Structure 1
Amino acid sequence: MASTFKYFAFASNMLKQRLLINNPSAVFNTVGKLQGHQLIFCNEYPGWHGGGANLAEKEGGEVWGVVWTMGSADRDSLDRQEKDYTPIQVPIITPDGATVDCRTYQLQGQYDVTKPTRHYKDIIVRGAKQNQLPQHYIQRLERVQCSDFYGHVPIYEQIINKLKSSLIIMAAARTFLYFSFGSNLLRQRLQLANPSAVFKTVGKLEDFELVFVGQSGRWQGGVASIEEKKGGEVYGVVWTLNREDIPTLDKQEGIYTPMEVEVAGMDGGRYTCRTYQLRIGWPPGPPSPHYKDVIIRGARQNSLPDHYLKYLESIKDNGFQGDVPVYNDVMRLLENQ
């Protein structure tokens, strides 16, 4: 028997903290969809006081979820968790078009359509967002109607407490992850003020676009920011930094607002990262040639995808030809290495 198997979660087990309660070996593999089916809620799911998620055949339908790699020792615990369901094998289509054969669970035979509780729906939606399922599918989940149950749901409270514990552990960690998409793509630029920065992976921020706005006195032109855009993508670098560098990073980013984003790593991982965004509604502003050059150098240094590098190269600059001291500092570092 194989030491691992692939499991397709499409409901509460999409949320890592929920799945790990009984299945500690689970490791994220990818997201994907089961075609020819739709998501429905039926019967009363034990412990949730409302309808449980199920798969129903539907021509042209699709159910999105998460593919987990799990140790074979967890197969029995997963079966116990899904004891009212029948295990089945299904072909899951990943975003890159590959097919993964997965174990999942389906309630078969007769069942009654039943609304889920708000608690159960909340965990499903949290899992969909945690793993960045397509926005249209998340919106579909958010539109699911719930029952009128407002009582106590112990399993829900247990999961929420685990989520809170995860945040506390992250806050206490000595390092943090930072996603750069502008001049800090270039290691020498980032390490001017943040010497602890270590490359982790190239990453992609989905449903955002790269924009250049405002007028920076430091860079003599517009600066990079991100704005939400359905279907958009911003490539960048995920860095590991010591927490002691947060004040210097915040100071460097000045007028930017720090935020947390979920980044899909090119190494197959998914990472919660600190990044920065201008949120005041700045007008568009083309970058200086100096600023654009540092961004492109960073993209090349870290081997961002060719199509994204060509996009960066196509950005029109403002033609500024004067002196830019911070650019000179970065170039001296590059020359000395």
Structure 2
Amino acid sequence: MSKVKYYYDSESLSYKKIERKKGRAFKYTFIFLLASAFFGFLMVFVTSQYVESPKERALKRELQNMELQYELLNKKMQQAETVLNNIADRDNNIYRVFFEANPIPDEQRKAGFGGINRYKDLEGFDNSKLIIESNKRLDVLQKQIVVQSRSLDEIAKLAEEKEKLLAAIPAIQPVSNEDLTRMASGYGMRSDPFTKVRKMHWGMDFTAPRGTPIYASGDGVVKRADSNSSGYGNHIRIDHGYGYISLYAHLYKYNVRKNQKVKRGDLIGFVGSTGRSEAPHLHYEVFKDGQRINPINFYYGSLTAEEFNKLLEHASLENQSLD
């Protein structure tokens, strides 16, 4: 129950009851409500601008964490790109040069992806540009890794072939130095022991006692081990592949048979004097792509520099050959 209020009337010298006007009460109520709404809106506005809600604080922390993770991802991508560029540089300028392979152009290594828009699903977001650029870098990085991986596979195959080639080249002297009596004759114009006429001597003659071991000068397959070639007597021919063939003539006997695989240094026969020969010795020839070449260029696998120079000196003398 509301209280009744009075006021003092000085004219009548008495207290009179204050009568409330309905319109004024409504006015005051409306003003009060309006003021309350204004201050409430003001408080909400101030709170929303300067005071974070728990949800906003959580979202802000999540955004900061995502920015930190992106920065770390960006650094990792930069490191990966640096390492990959270093590998690509060594691949082009060392490995591929050594194995005589063409370098891979940068356009091929770092090419993007043409055609359809691969990143359409990532458009329309607040950070779409950032997300799309990151995905593009990752895609290019992934493609570079694939290209480099295939290149290294190719290099490995080339290295394997190079290893086979180096093992196949006739690179050692077929008779040990300690078994030699002397180097009788080298490659070039020599005097024929039977006709005394100067003619081309296509190989090297190593004088050694009958029965001295003869070794394969490189990996290969025995293509002939017979005496069916005029002048050579008992002889062996080894096909080393890559266009190389070595020939061992005037043998006393064989230690291999036709189609047998041999390794460099394997015992294949023994020195003799069969065929057109004046004394026990090994006549040794090397063929490359069907052409006879000077065998002295292939002794890097068994002789020291001093031994090679001595052999070169004897092989250069225009003496009489033994076959």
User: TM-score normalized by structure 1?
Assistant: 0.24
User: TM-score normalized by structure 2?
Assistant: 0.25
Q: Which has the higher helix share?
A: 2
